[in-house]
Amino acid sequence: MKNLLRELRAGEAWSQGKLAEVLGVSRQTVNAIETEKYDPSLPLAFKIARLFKRPIEEIFEAEA
Amino acid sequence: MTSKLYSVRVNKQNPPNTLESVQPCSGLYSIRKDIKRNIWLAVAAAIYLINLMLAKRHPEWSVAIRATFALAPLIPGLLYIRSCTRFVSGLDELQRRIQLEAWLFAVMGTALIGIAVSTLNASGVHMGELEHGLGMGRAFIVTFVLWLVGSAIANCRYK
């Protein structure tokens, strides 16, 4: 699944570790989502959407 | 309203568990988490060793008493399973997936190796010490080694 997490994080000037701390996950999880190796669970996707004040579908885009 | 809707609590009080927190020399080792997870294993091992010692010193004890002592480590063993389950529940979602993949790899791999050994024995191939199958002790070792391999593979996949 494509996502804008890296761009959004960069926009806030946060490190992966800082974002991981805010989301309550490991840094490895943030990295895996950013590199599109791992699709987050729905609760985590909602958390990310709330954090960046964007709708989920704007951050995550399902590949056709 | 909008700020309430989009508010996110910073999760500093209850960070997710990590495997590194129970691995000494990992840099992220936490003695509190290690004790919390492994204390019942240590208790089970201590009771088992005491039981071995007592069984040697008191062969005159009745079967009922010996059976009670022999089965006593099962209680801390069950508590150890509970603390492991809680630790895994506290892992972050990617770590849970990695552990699931690693354990599947380990269990299925051990089963396959066990079947292969049994099949070779049944075919008349001389297996030396393995002529009666893999055995429980070796099965534990094989599972542990395969879990290490499975963890490494899964971690590489999500790096």
Domain ranges of chain B: 14-91, 92-159
B37–chain A nearest CA distance, Å = 19
| The predicted structure's pLDDT at residue B7 | 47
Q: Name the DSSP letter for residue B125.
A: -
Instruction: Give the burial string for B50-87 (b: 16+ CB within 10 Å, else e).
Output: ebeeeeeeeeeeeeeeeeebeeebeebbeebeebeeeb
What is the SS3 assignment for B36? helix
- CA-derived radius of gyration, chain B: 22
pLDDT digits (tens, 9 = 90+) for B60-79: 888 898 899 889 999 999 99
Find residues 4-63 of chain A whose CB sits inside 8 Å of chain B.
Answer: 21-26, 28-29, 31-32, 37-38, 40-41, 44, 47, 50-51, 53
B159:A31 CB<8 A:
yes
Set out the domains of chain A in order of their start, with CATH numbers. 2-53 (1.10.260.40)
pLDDT digits (tens, 9 = 90+) for A24-63: 898 999 999 999 999 999 999 999 999 999 999 999 998 7
Low-confidence ranges of chain B (pLDDT < 50): 1-8, 10-11
| The predicted structure's pLDDT at residue B26 | 67
A12–chain B nearest CA distance, Å = 15
Residues contacting residue B23 through CB under 8 Å, at least 6 positions apart:
B29
Residues contacting residue B87 through CB under 8 Å, at least 6 positions apart:
B17, B22, B33, B36, B37
The CA angle B110-B115-B119, to the nearest 5 degrees, is: 150
| Contact present, B143 and B107 (Cβ < 8 Å) | yes
| The predicted structure's pLDDT at residue A64 | 65
Question: Which of B2, B6, B16 is the closest to A26 by Cβ?
Answer: B16
Give the amino acid at B5.
L
Helices (H), A1-64: 5-12, 16-23, 27-34, 42-51, 56-59
At B50, which helix (H) or strand (E)? helix B31-57
The CA angle B133-B98-B86, to the nearest 5 degrees, is: 90
| The predicted structure's pLDDT at residue B14 | 63
Q: Taking CA atoms, what residue in A is nearest to B11?
A: A24
Q: Does the pTM of the predicted model rise above 0.90?
A: no
